[in-house]
Structure 1
Amino acid sequence: MRIPFIGAEAVAAGHLTKGQLRARYRQIYSGIYVPRRHEPSLRDRIVGAHLAAPKAVITGVAASAMYGAKWVGDDAPIELITATRRQPGLLVRRETLHVDEWWTMGGIRVATPERTAFDLARHLPRGKAVERLDALSNVRPFAIEDVMLIVKSHPGVRGLRQLRVALPLVDGGAESPPETRLRLLFVEAGLPRPTTQYVVYDEDGSYIRRIDICWEEFKVGAEYDGEQHLKNRRQYVLDVVVNRALQRLGWHVLHVIKEDRAAEILAEARTALLSRGWQPQRK
């Protein structure tokens, strides 16, 4: 039997007795079972949600994961748009869904990338919404204009105000939530909107580095150094060599780690930009 499965169907087909079903398996949703010691993956939970509510449409974070968005854990909420009753373990939204706002993937109904973005921007806090929207846009780019067309077709729906705040902040160049948070820190502090994933070449055209976030006009950049930069000796050596090359080319690159304070990051970025000719706009 495939995992997960509909318990009643397995019993009816003679694969299991009711006693075996109760003893060896457990429910993840109403009527949907997995082996007792099996820890369901996100994919298992999405398939289970489809079995529990086959006419429902997967949206939100789970839908973004179906498109390949990273940084989605196995415990992410499974969000459904459906008229069926609520049940434990599923986030059910009874909302209007037009026929051109969903399709099927592997037999499972899923919101289009644009509708998924529409739902993420409305239902998540702004910071989390932008993180999830960045991750979706990174693997399945969508046009802001197309999302706004969905807005026009759902006048008065909940969350439009926060959607209009979150959508302009989306940048599919972000490759991790910390990068998104770092970029938002700069934008919200009034610094110029930076470019993401900017490639720097040497004088002879040789590749030097793809900088996470930068203001190329001023040759100022910022990179979020995760654990791999600190614990991997090979990565550390490469970073040292690359940073020397960037300095030779006149770049000032901030290296941000999770322990850094926001005020200190902003102070260094602002000082570097001002020293290279940036002039803040007067309000």
Structure 2
Amino acid sequence: MGELDEPFPGTWAIAAGAVSAWELRKDFERVYPDVYVRKGVPLDARGRALAVGHWAKGEGILAGFSAAAMHGTRWLDAKPAEIVLPHRARPPRGVRVYRDAIHADELCTLSGFRCTTPVRTAFDVARRLDFTEAVEVLDALCNATKLAPKDIEHFTEVHPGLRGRSKVGVVLPYIDGGAESVPETRTRLLLLEAGLPKPETQIRITGPDGLTVARLDMGWRRWQVAVEYDGAHHWTDHDQRAWDIDRNAVLESLGWTLIRVSATLLTTRPHTIISRVTRALRAHNADY
């Protein structure tokens, strides 16, 4: 990958002799005013963060979704770019501009751009998004950065004057950095909203020989009930399917009951998931 395979300012590239004006028009496409990317190079959330940073000509602070992307957060490709600017500006389409006061200890530099730190990013996400979306993004941010909910709680406590602070406390009890996909987060939220006990995530199961036989998405170790979200490949890939059958048999031999969740169940029949999990917990004498 060359230096022009990421977003760059067009005027800079021409002045530096990296491209000619003709090459810029022929081989690159404009992302934002004076910001270009090579044709055919997909622009993910991190790419859009870099692009909006160039658009701001170094004056901005990448925040929200863009800061989260710079910190390695996944599943943000459908989100808009977000930036804090010191002055009013009309943003390009797909860009959100804020005029927040960001303290020096809430900043870091990544790939040459100023970004909010993981904890400040988490605070901003929690106070600006609706509940479900906030939990989804914060699960992914915590998974990527190893940020803990208690870190966000402490930040909130020592910043009593920031707008939207009350929303953060609502979101915090539901954050779990163990989630490894958005559907896993949605499955966990479904269980909690149904009044079931809070599940542990990424449960490591060992056999009699002490070797790991499985790592389960979520569940209750005390009652040996687990819930896993299976992506499409678990149902369509024959080798994966065979592996899953063998793995399930091992788990059953160790006393575990595994409830498997598909996209269809999660989106069209969530009551079926709740019913199956409830029955399994009762069968294992859960006393919640």
**Contact map agreement 2:224 2:255 (CA 8 A) in 1:** yes
1:273 aligns with one of 267, 281, 284: 281
TM-score using structure 2 length: 0.88
**Where do residues 97-116 of structure 1 align in structure 2 (5 Å cutoff)?**
97-116=102-121
Partner of 2:35: 32
Q: Structure 2: how far apart are the matches of 1:37 and 1:68? A: 22
1:6 positional shift: 2.3
**Contact map agreement 1:202 1:208 (CA 8 A) in 2:** yes
2:52 aligns with one of 46, 49, 53: 49
Structure 1 gap ranges (5+)? none
TM-score using structure 1 length: 0.89
1:236 aligns with one of 235, 238, 241: 241
Partner of 1:9: 12
Q: Structure 2: how far apart are the matches of 1:86 and 1:152? A: 33
Partner of 1:136: 141
1:65 maps to 2:69: yes
**Contact map agreement 1:30 1:87 (CA 8 A) in 2:** no
**Where do residues 89-238 of structure 1 align in structure 2 (5 Å cutoff)?**
89-238=94-243
1:190 positional shift: 1.1
Cα 1:109–1:36 change in 2 (3 A) is: same
Q: Structure 2: how far apart are the matches of 1:30 and 1:56? A: 15
**Contact map agreement 1:5 1:48 (CA 8 A) in 2:** yes
Amino acid at match of 2:221: E
1:83 maps to 2:91: no
**Contact map agreement 2:148 2:177 (CA 8 A) in 1:** no
Aligned length: 278
Secondary structure of 1:86's counterpart equals coil
42-51 or 243-252, which moves further after superposition?
A: 42-51
Residue by residue, what CA displacement relative to the aligned partner does 1:162-215 show, whole Å, maximum 9, x if unpaired?
211111211111111111111111111111111111111222323221111111
Secondary structure of 1:65's counterpart equals helix
Q: Structure 1: how far apart are the matches of 2:211 and 2:30? A: 56
Residue by residue, what CA displacement relative to the aligned partner does 1:93-131 show, whole Å, maximum 9, x if unpaired?
111211100110121111111011111111111111111
1:262 positional shift: 1.1
164-173 or 147-156, which moves further after superposition?
A: 147-156
Q: Structure 2: how far apart are the matches of 1:247 and 1:23? A: 60
152-161 or 207-216, which moves further after superposition?
A: 152-161
1:24 positional shift: 6.1
Q: Structure 1: how far apart are the matches of 2:126 and 2:171? A: 6
Q: Structure 2: how far apart are the matches of 1:154 and 1:30? A: 36
Cα 1:267–1:151 change in 2 (3 A) is: same
Structure 2 gap ranges (5+)? none
1:23 positional shift: 6.6
Q: Structure 2: how far apart are the matches of 1:107 and 1:96? A: 20
Amino acid at match of 1:9: W
Secondary structure of 1:146's counterpart equals helix
